[in-house]
A and B are shown apart, each in its own frame.
Chain A
Amino acid sequence: MIGVIDYGAGNLGNVARALNYLNCRTRIIGEPDVLSGIAGLVLPGVGSFASGVEGLKQRELFRPVKNYIFSGRPFLGICLGMQLLFQESRENTGLRGLGAFPGRCEKFSPGESGKVPHMGWNNLRVENKNSLLQQEDKLYLYFVHSYYLPVNPKIVLASTVYGGQRFMSAVNRERVWGLQPHPEKSGSRGLKILRNFVEVVNGDSNSSNRS
């Protein structure tokens, strides 16, 4: 059973629908009580950094989610959900994120080289092969975001370039993953990444395949 966190922002249904399509059972997590028995957790997202942090706090999910992340169980943040895993964002300075990863989200500057938001299909350069992301040529996924994470070699899994800026499109440390693009909206390539996450979670549940 994978939990999909609902903190009141945007359309969280599509991530659950994609997991269900992969024959994975899901539970919508809108309050801390329903977290028990969850083998893996997904934090989807659209909206602002502040709406994410405040949405989690209003539902008394901020601390439990943070505890979950630091407990070493599989966790996947998508788009804003990835940005919330970091310490802070230029979008709402002074507000602390979940802090699983060090760093601050920066804003793309619109100009000759690109519009903001960065919206559409862009390719990922896999920097570090991982259970979620294999080395692939022509890996194009769908992005929609205005803020980005500068590359940090310690946690980067994949990077992408937009408007002359290379940023982290996938990150990982231990059992925590973040994806800036939307795997639930990226066709078969995106579904494959979600399936890999499901397999990480199932591997845990069967207490095997831990490598």
Chain B
Amino acid sequence: MLTKRLIPCLDVKDGRVVKGQQFVNLKDQGDPVEMARAYNQAGADELVFLDITATREKREIMREMVLKVAECLFIPFTVGGGIAGIEDFRSLISAGADKISINSAAVRTPGLISRAAERFGSQAVVVAIDGRRRNSGGWKVLISGGTEETGLELVDWAQEAQERGAGELLLTSMDRDGSRDGYDLEMLKAVNQAVSIPVIASGGAGSPEHLYQAFAEGKADAALAASIWHQDIYSIKECKNYLAERGIPVRPVGEESGEEKEEKEEETLEEKNDGRE
């Protein structure tokens, strides 16, 4: 059956990973290619590279990074941060990114969602939404890294993004982000009831239990996290084992011990399929 995805998010500045796990076996901790490979081997199902480069002049560096990563990483990866228009989509997708995530630009120019979906397919368009809880109930949408109000109601905006052609939503709780107190499950549930596209939970993961809650209660399709894995508090494998023990379907870790490895000997002709699913 379809498995729930665990997605580490890596912050990238000027083409270097500035926030990611300190893998002991890596020579160059900031090298996106080495980091991507290490996460692949650790069992990540997908990766998100978030460009936190401040200046637009340095955008070309991100494209070069994507080119290098795509040459040797063969799992899906998303690139986000500072995407302004259709040309950014074209540039990064042609370099090898599978999905592009847009946040502020989608709010400012909602037509960008549909234009990108028409041109590159909905599967390539991730709309990232930063939400903050209202005292009066519901959630408001913030942009520009949480500094700017939009007047949008989160569930309405999630629905609009889907209608305009988003293939996936990356839903971040600004209240929980960095707290390690767990995802905002009510927000996840509310959005999941309103849309029929996959939803990635983000903001607040601090333990495997939080991941479990996002899937079991929040009905998320994927969970994104940073510090829980970057600071090596829990490994992806530990998290997946925890989830599997509690009945959440996950892709087993340990399949990724290296592409160059010699193949195992042929199994016997008579070996019967055990009907597993």
A185 close to B123 (CB less than 8 A): no
A116 touching B196 in the complex, CB below 8 Å, given contacts A134-B267, A140-B252: yes
A123 touching B1 in the complex, CB below 8 Å, given contacts A17-B71, A185-B76, A187-B74: yes
B275 close to A120 (CB less than 8 A): no
Q: Mark A130-166, 1 if CB is under 8 A from B, else 0.
A: 0000110110101110000000000000000110000
B58 to chain A, nearest CB (A): 23
- Among the 9-residue stretches A8-16, A65-73, A90-98, A202-210, the one with 4 or more Cβ atoms under 8 Å from chain B is A8-16
Which residues on A sit within 8 Å (CB–CB) of B168? 119
Closest to A110 in B: B196
Q: Mark A62-100, 1 if CB is under 8 A from B, else 0.
A: 000000000000000000000000000000000000000
B40 close to A140 (CB less than 8 A): no
A187 close to B273 (CB less than 8 A): no
The verdict on A27 contacting chain B, using a C-beta distance below 8 Å, is no
Instruction: List residues of A (1-27) whose CB comes within 8 Å of B's CBs.
Output: 9-11, 13-14, 17-18, 20-21
Instruction: List residues of B (68-85) whose CB comes within 8 Å of A's CBs.
Output: 70-72, 74-76
B72 close to A185 (CB less than 8 A): no
Q: Which of B1, B96, B196, B198 contacts A122 (CB 8 A)?
A: B1
Instruction: List residues of B (1-40) whose CB comes within 8 Å of A's CBs.
Output: 1-5, 40
A120 close to B45 (CB less than 8 A): yes
Bound-complex Cα distance A117 to B99 (A):
14
Which residues on B sit within 8 Å (CB–CB) of A186? 74-75
A13 close to B198 (CB less than 8 A): no
The verdict on B271 contacting chain A, using a C-beta distance below 8 Å, is yes
Bound-complex Cα distance A144 to B46 (A):
13
B2 close to A191 (CB less than 8 A): no
B198 close to A185 (CB less than 8 A): no
Please list 18 pairs of residues, one from A and one from B, whose beta carbons are closer than 8 Å in the complex, sorted by A's number. Answer: A11-B120, A11-B124, A13-B70, A14-B96, A21-B74, A21-B259, A46-B120, A46-B124, A115-B197, A119-B167, A119-B198, A120-B5, A121-B2, A123-B3, A123-B276, A134-B266, A161-B1, A188-B261
**A-B complex: 3 closest residue pairs judged by Cβ atoms:** A121-B251, A140-B251, A188-B259
